[in-house]
């Protein structure tokens, strides 16, 4: 078997990892350190996602109470250096790379056929049927069945008729499949990136990441059945927080939204600035939005006329905003403009990617303000290569466009600042909060037309 020993007195978690939002368990950190040695021995030339799964062999450890009887499995997504047969790592769920196997033989035949497209689709469908995925109850479904059951609504079935190419070849499905096949009990799991980041995505060497949603979410929803899994931390709810009123008159207000409060009701909760505003001023409407973890200034209209007038200003881009952010490390330049087009990652929503071909133009001006050294900002240390940088920089950001996650991507991307915002779980590392604040806003009053400038005192 491909199981590796893991001697440790660390107690196991109460439940298995929720793979789409998690903090790596200490057992996974210990296992990842071992995997890192093997990766360095191989010396891959391209960046790759790797994963670890800590396991127990059947009921032996549970019956004996022996904490040291852990083991771990290791995996990589796709191919590693063009191979899928590295002995240290679990094998693929289905090996389509055999040169004399049906898939490769048929692929060569199709390349010489005039009906190339239709025959390729048939071969891809055949391939998906070979991925027969287990769950913790010992039940089996192939990828086509899993996909169609997950996207059962007619509209979703039409939008997602078949899995994307490469589904089933990511770390998490490979690890769980091998564990189930060999009567190994999954304890916890984690995935980390090793090597250079791709040009479009933001991946930091040695850092842990959640499983991808586009390919893995339907598959893991099936494979995790029968396991006691941690709840999704993004769905357990948040304490009700109250915005503070910065300025108001009879037709509008400017409020300071705390980090962790929704701007509008959403899937993870109904309580938001919008519901609070309607309770305080019946009929009030939030004019624009901030990400839940971003704090700062929001405009609230108390009348429908004021709402439409302020909305028109946003559409005309006459509303000007300034943000403050604390970023990891030090930007190379004191002042500059980042111009990187963005589009959504269809296989990993809600992430955005830098897309030079199809992306919408996104422009951010920045200026560094001051550096902070020491332990004021508490980054999660889920990095298998090094401790967090002791240096953080306060920067001012002026978005000239309003794309989704624009400031977060422009700060984190290697062709932007190359310095992720502290606490940015999507593009950087977890902390006690996201250190991004909408600190100042300028707009025309919807009744008087007077230019208004409001700002918060600098600091978080």
Pick the catalytic residue from 291, 345, 383, 424: 291
> How does DSSP assign 32-60, residue by residue?
HHHHHHHHHHH--SS-EEEEEEEEEETTH
**What pLDDT sits at residue 319?**
97
Q: Tell me the C-alpha distance between 7 and 204, whole Å.
A: 28
Q: What is the token pair recorded at 123?
A: 């071969």
Q: Each residue of 445-454: pLDDT tens digit?
A: 999 999 999 9
What digits encode the pLDDT tens for the residues 247-292? 999 999 999 999 989 999 876 557 899 999 999 999 999 999 999 9
Residue 201, pLDDT score: 83
Between the two ends of the chain, the Cα-to-Cα distance in Å is 51
* Alpha-carbon gap, residue 211 to 229, rounded angstroms: 15
| CA gap 181, 257 in Å, rounded | 50
Q: What is the pLDDT of residues 151-190, one digit of tens each?
A: 887 776 777 778 888 999 999 999 999 999 999 999 999 9
Q: Are the C-beta atoms of 276 and 243 separated by less than 8 Å?
A: yes
Instruction: Please check the confidence at residue 32 and state whether its pLDDT lies above 70.
Output: yes
Burial of 273 (C-beta count, 10 Å sphere; 0-12/13-18/19+) = buried
**What's the CA gap between 283 and 277, in Å, rounded?**
8
Q: What is the tens place of the pLDDT at every residue in 364-375?
A: 999 999 876 554
Known catalytic residue at 291: yes
CA distances from 39 to 33, 195, 317 (A): 10, 10, 49
Mean residue pLDDT of the chain comes to 89
| DSSP notation for 181-227 | HTTEEEEEEEEEEESPPPSSS---TTBEEPPPHHHHHHHHHHHTTTS
Confidence at residue 16, expressed as pLDDT on a 0 to 100 scale: 98
383 falls in which pLDDT band (50, 70, 90)?
low
Strands 48-57 and 70-76: antiparallel
Per-residue confidence (pLDDT) for residue 165, from 0 to 100: 87
Does the structure show a pLDDT above 90 at 5? yes
pLDDT at 296: 97
Beta strands in 132-217 (DSSP E): 132-134, 140-142, 184-194, 208-209
The percent of the chain in helix, strand and coil, each rounded to the nearest 5, is: 25, 25, 50
Q: Which residue has the tokens 């009990």?
A: 185
Q: Which residues contact 165 (CB under 8 A, 6 or more apart)?
A: 124
Of all residues in the chain, the percent with pLDDT exceeding 90 is 69
CA distances, 281 to each of 247, 249, 274, 275, 310 (Å): 14, 12, 10, 10, 17
- Average pLDDT in the 299-313 region? 97
Tokens of 456: 């918060």
Mean pLDDT, range 93-118, rounded to an integer: 80
Cα 155 to chain centroid, rounded = 25
Measure the CA–CA gap between 227 and 189, rounded to whole angstroms: 13
Q: Which residue has the higher pLDDT, 109 or 236?
A: 109
Rg, Å, the chain Cα set: 25
Q: Does pLDDT of 80 surpass 80?
A: yes
Look up residue 34 and give its two tokens: 């071992």
Collapsed DSSP state (helix, strand, coil) of residue 73: strand
Residues 6 or more apart in contact with residue 424 via CB below 8 angstroms: 408, 411, 412, 434, 436
Structure-token pair, residue 374 = 């020491």
**In whole angstroms, what is the distance from residue 233 CA to residue 86 CA?**
35
d(CA 285, CA 275): 9
**How far is it, in rounded angstroms, from Cα 409 to Cα 348?**
14
> What is the β-pairing status of strands 70-76 and 4-6?
antiparallel
Q: What tens digit of pLDDT does each residue of 328-350 get?
A: 999 999 999 999 999 998 778 78
Q: How far apart are CA 248 and CA 269, in angstroms?
A: 27
CB 21 within 8 A of CB 162: no
User: What is the C-alpha to C-alpha distance for residues 410 and 413, in angstroms, rounded to an integer?
Assistant: 6
Mean pLDDT of the 428-434 span:
89
Give the model's pLDDT for residue 350.
Answer: 83
Closest to 389 measured CA to CA, from 426, 416, 429, 437? 429
Within 8 A by CB and 6+ apart from 42, the residues are 80, 81, 86
**Is the pLDDT confidence value at 415 over 70?**
yes
Tell me which residue of 51, 348, 260, 34 sits closest to 173, measured CA to CA. Answer: 51
d(CA 453, CA 450): 10
Among 431, 289, 382, which residue's Cα sits nearest to residue 32? 382
- Least confidently predicted of 3-12, 289-298, 339-348: 339-348
């Amino acid at each position: 078997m491909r199981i590796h020993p893991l001697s440790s007195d660390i107690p196991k978690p109460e439940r298995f990892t929720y793979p789409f939002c998690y903090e790596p368990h200490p057992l996974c950190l210990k296992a990842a350190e071992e995997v890192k040695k093997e990766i360095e021995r191989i010396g891959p030339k391209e960046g790759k996602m790797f994963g670890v799964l800590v396991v127990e062999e059947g009921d032996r450890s549970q019956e004996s109470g022996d904490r040291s009887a852990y083991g771990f499995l290791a995996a990589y997504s796709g191919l590693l250096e063009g191979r899928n047969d590295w002995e240290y790592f679990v094998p693929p769920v289905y090996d389509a790379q055999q040169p004399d196997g049906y898939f490769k033989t048929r692929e060569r035949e199709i390349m010489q056929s005039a009906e190339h497209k239709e025959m390729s689709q048939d071969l891809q469908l055949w391939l998906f049927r070979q991925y027969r995925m287990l769950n913790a109850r010992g039940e089996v479904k192939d990828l086509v069945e899993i996909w169609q059951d997950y996207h059962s609504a007619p509209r979703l079935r039409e939008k997602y008729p078949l899995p994307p190419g490469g589904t089933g070849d990511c770390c998490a499905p490979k690890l769980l499949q091998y564990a189930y096949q060999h009567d190994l009990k999954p304890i916890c799991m984690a995935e980390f990136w090793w090597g250079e980041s791709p040009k479009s995505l933001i991946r930091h060497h040695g850092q842990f990441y959640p499983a991808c949603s586009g390919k893995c979410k339907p598959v893991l929803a099936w494979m995790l059945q029968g396991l006691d899994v941690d709840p999704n931390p993004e769905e357990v709810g948040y304490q009700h927080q109250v915005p503070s009123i910065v300025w108001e008159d009879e037709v509008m207000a400017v409020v300071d939204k705390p980090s962790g409060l929704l701007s509008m009701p959403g899937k993870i909760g109904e309580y938001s600035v919008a519901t609070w505003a309607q309770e305080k001023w019946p009929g009030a409407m939030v004019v624009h939005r901030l990400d839940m973890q971003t704090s700062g200034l929001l405009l609230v209209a108390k009348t429908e006329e004021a709402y439409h007038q302020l909305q028109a200003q946003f559409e005309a881009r006459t509303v000007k905003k300034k943000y403050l952010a604390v970023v990891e490390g030090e930007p190379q330049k004191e002042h500059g403009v980042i111009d990187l087009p963005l589009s959504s990652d269809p296989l990993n929503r809600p992430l955005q990617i830098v897309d030079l071909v199809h992306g919408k133009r996104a422009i951010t001006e920045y200026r560094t303000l001051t550096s902070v050294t020491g332990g004021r900002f508490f980054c999660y240390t889920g990095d298998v290569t090094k401790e967090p940088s002791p240096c953080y920089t306060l920067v001012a950001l002026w978005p000239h466009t309003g794309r989704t996650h624009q400031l977060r991507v422009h700060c984190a991307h290697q062709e932007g600042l190359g310095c992720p915002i502290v606490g940015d779980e999507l593009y950087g590392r977890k902390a006690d909060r996201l250190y991004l604040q909408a600190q100042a806003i300028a707009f025309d009053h919807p009744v008087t037309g007077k230019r208004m400038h409001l700002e918060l005192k600098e600091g978080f």
